[in-house]
Amino acid sequence: MRRGRLPVVLAVPAALGLLFLLLPLLGLLARAPWHGLPHLLGDSTVLQALRLSLICASSATALSVLLGVPLAWVIARLRFPGRRVLRALVTLPLVLPPVVGGVALLYAFGRKGVFGPALSALHVDLSFTTAGVVAAETFVAMPFLVVSVEGALSSSDLRFEEAAATLGAGAWTTFRRVTVPLIGPSVGAGAVLTFARALGEFGATITFAGNLPGTTQTLPLATYIALETDPRSAIALALLLLAVSIAVLLLLRERWLRPGPQS
Amino acid sequence: MASTGTAVVSLHAEVEVRRGTFTLRAALACAAGETLAVLGPNGAGKSTLLRALAGLEPATGPVRVGGRDVSALPPRLRGAGVVFQDHRLFPHLSARDNVAFGPRSQGGRRRDARAEADALLLRLGLGDLGARRPRELSGGQAQRVALARALAGRPTYLLLDEPLSALDTEIRAEVRGFLRTTVDGYDGPCLLVTHDAVEALTLADRILVLEGGGVVQEGTPTQVARHPATPYVARLVGLNFYRGQLTGGRLTVDSGGEIACATGDLSGRALATIRPSAVTLFADRPHGTSARNLWPGRIAVVEVAGERVRVEVASTPPVVAEVTAAALAELRVRPGDEVWAAVKATDVDVRT
């Protein structure tokens, strides 16, 4: 088909779709209290929530890289029965309603959860703590990293790993000195996506970690609460999150985040 | 020499690889210091054989390196130095660190490994390119770095998988020079996979011809070229070739005779090849031919291969001609008869 011609049957729904996606953002910008913005964002509750959000999202991203890259390697590189099932399980949080994730975390790692007593014995308390926020965010966001890295590993062939093996490199040396540098850009892209998802996490966090200002009240939670008490503040917070999202998109456009040249 | 300190051993293998409907079954032996060319058409199983010897392809049968069966060992413990067709240099490492990768992986200290890498790069004429990344190297340079990298691991045996085939013709000659020096200086067994007959003839001590997953012929370049076992070998390797001393456009053949070549001022040791189809036969001394090489001799052997007939003439130097059955019938000659073989100087392919 020749490019450039736009049939009406496609043009109308396409335009409607675009409007539907853009109008809410325009509404947000139109109602934004631009003059009071510095004052609203300077509020101590907001700053507290922002600080907590950044700390938790960064921790969740670090944790996801630490656990997710090896997990992606296992799924992509090893051949074992049940590999497909494992891959499906790993990606489940992507489609699972976050509140279900929160409930599941509560009954697994909460004080009365299946593994709660074991965690208590180790002096680890996840429910209604900042650590719980990190856990909830990691649960929801890590699949983004695993999927991104696993995709990179599966599409890159084994040529360089083979070459490393003939040079006497063991599995760990090959992983550290060959595989990781080659998939670095994908790990970066996955980490940015993971960070963005963790930063916006709401359902699992409020269910599992609660909504305690200073401890578990992250930016999305603060935004939701503010909507009932101080709508202007809620809009300001929403703008802040929107700015972060746009920054993430710009970061992902950068060249260093694209899969690198393979030869 | 890169392999100093490594015991010099020979390689004996009986490899069987099954992959779908394809089966490769090959036995080979390669002595220390010997270069064995594995020659064959695409899909013959050449690369599969090499990968099986390196441990990169699941295979059955023993692979003995100096009497020790390494077939159960993973690639990293086999001690094979592999040069891949597509060089496979690590794109994120400099040329120096690529070469140092083997020594480092084997537990060497970074400084020692880098020093060894620099020495090898220097030997391969790449002394000033150590800091470059693979993408900043030309194809020929990259393949030389890959050669250095394979040698730096101090391999007990060397496996070269079509090391020149990805290169342009002009660069190929340059890299072939380094390859020959390396192969000649290497004191372990060396396997060279190629589909280029001239590459096999110039670089190898012996040739193993693989077709359809099996060995169809094995022998010295002379044996294989003189008596090709299959039509493929005949077409590909059935070249007349002569080693000798080149001076002023004339090659003095080691085994006797002289060949006029269109080489200009080149001189030194050289290898000349002549396609059998470029040889014309005459029943009587021809007059008015422009061919500068004219050799009388008796017909030793006549072999019919389809439409074509291979005629071996016991001239000095000896030559194989390939003519059509009709042309031979016209000559009215039989084995034992005296004929004249004519070859144009421009049909003599010379490599120094």
Task: Kindly report, residue by residue over B281-319, the tens digit of the pLDDT.
Answer: 998 998 888 889 999 999 988 887 677 888 989 999 999
- In a mutagenesis test of the A interface, which of B85, B101, B143, B159 is the best target, namely the one with the most A β-carbons within 10 Å? B101
Instruction: Report the C-alpha gap between B159 and B210 in whole angstroms.
Output: 16
- Whether residue A262 and residue B91 make contact (CB cut-off 8 A), yes or no, is yes
Strand-pair category, B190-194 with B157-161: parallel
A166 contacts in B (CB within 8 Å)? 54-56, 75-76, 78, 80-82, 150, 153
SS3 A217: coil
B134 in A contact zone (CB under 8 Å):
yes
Q: Which residues contact A40 (CB under 8 A, 6 or more apart)?
A: A33, A46, A232, A233, A236
A173 contacts in B (CB within 8 Å)? 105
pLDDT at B6: 53
A178 in B contact zone (CB under 8 Å):
yes
Q: Which range, A52-61, A247-256, B321-330, is most confident? A: A52-61
pLDDT at A263: 35
Task: Kindly report, residue by residue over B61-76, the tens digit of the pLDDT.
Answer: 999 998 899 999 999 9
pLDDT at A254: 64
Terminal-residue alpha carbon distance, chain A: 34
pLDDT at A260: 46
Instruction: Tell me the pTM.
Output: 0.74
B76 in A contact zone (CB under 8 Å):
yes
Mean per-residue pLDDT, B201-228: 87
- Whether residue B81 and residue A166 make contact (CB cut-off 8 A), yes or no, is yes
pLDDT at B2: 41
State the smallest CA–CA distance between residue A176 and chain B in angstroms. Answer: 11
pLDDT at A120: 85
Task: Kindly report, residue by residue over A101-115, the tens digit of the pLDDT.
Answer: 999 999 999 888 899
User: Which of A15-29, A245-259, B14-28 is the least confident region?
Assistant: A245-259
pLDDT at A77: 87
Q: Which residues contact A45 (CB under 8 A, 6 or more apart)?
A: A213, A222
Task: Kindly report, residue by residue over A214-241, the tens digit of the pLDDT.
Answer: 899 999 999 999 989 888 888 888 998 9
Q: Residue B347 has which token pair?
A: 């049909």
Mean per-residue pLDDT, B15-26: 93
Instruction: Report the C-alpha gap between B75 and A114 in whole angstroms.
Output: 45
As a whole-number percent, the residues of chain B with pLDDT over 70 amount to 97
Checking phi first, is residue B16 left (phi over 0); if not, alpha (psi -120 to 50) or beta? beta
pLDDT at B266: 79
A160 contacts in B (CB within 8 Å)? 88, 90-91
Q: Is the pLDDT of residue B161 over 80?
A: yes
Mean per-residue pLDDT, B242-268: 87
Residue A126 pLDDT class (50, 70, 90 cuts): confident
A176 in B contact zone (CB under 8 Å):
no
A160 in B contact zone (CB under 8 Å):
yes
- Whether residue B76 and residue A181 make contact (CB cut-off 8 A), yes or no, is no
Task: Kindly report, residue by residue over A50-72, the tens digit of the pLDDT.
Answer: 999 999 999 999 999 999 999 99
Residue B7 pLDDT class (50, 70, 90 cuts): low
pLDDT at A145: 95
Mean per-residue pLDDT, B148-165: 92
User: Which of A84-88, A141-145, A258-262, B198-202 is the least confident region?
Assistant: A258-262
- In a mutagenesis test of the A interface, which of B47, B53, B76, B151 is the best target, namely the one with the most A β-carbons within 10 Å? B76
pLDDT at B233: 80
Q: Is A144 within 8 Å of A95 (Cβ atoms)? A: no
Three-class SS of B265-292: CCCEEEEEEECHHHCEEECCCCCCCCCC
B73 contacts in A (CB within 8 Å)? none
User: Which of A146-150, A253-257, B311-315 is the least confident region?
Assistant: A253-257
Residue B241 or B205, more confident: B205
Residue A73 pLDDT class (50, 70, 90 cuts): very high
State the smallest CA–CA distance between residue A139 and chain B in angstroms. Answer: 32
- In a mutagenesis test of the B interface, which of A167, A177, A186, A262 is the best target, namely the one with the most B β-carbons within 10 Å? A167
Task: Kindly report, residue by residue over A13-61, the tens digit of the pLDDT.
Answer: 999 999 999 999 998 888 888 888 888 888 888 889 999 999 999 999 9
User: Which of A139-153, B19-33, B82-96, B255-269 is the least confident region?
Assistant: B255-269
Tell me chain B's radius of gyration from C-alpha atoms.
23
Residue B227 pLDDT class (50, 70, 90 cuts): confident
- Whether residue B76 and residue A260 make contact (CB cut-off 8 A), yes or no, is no
Residue B328 or B160, more confident: B160
Cα A261–chain centre separation? 26
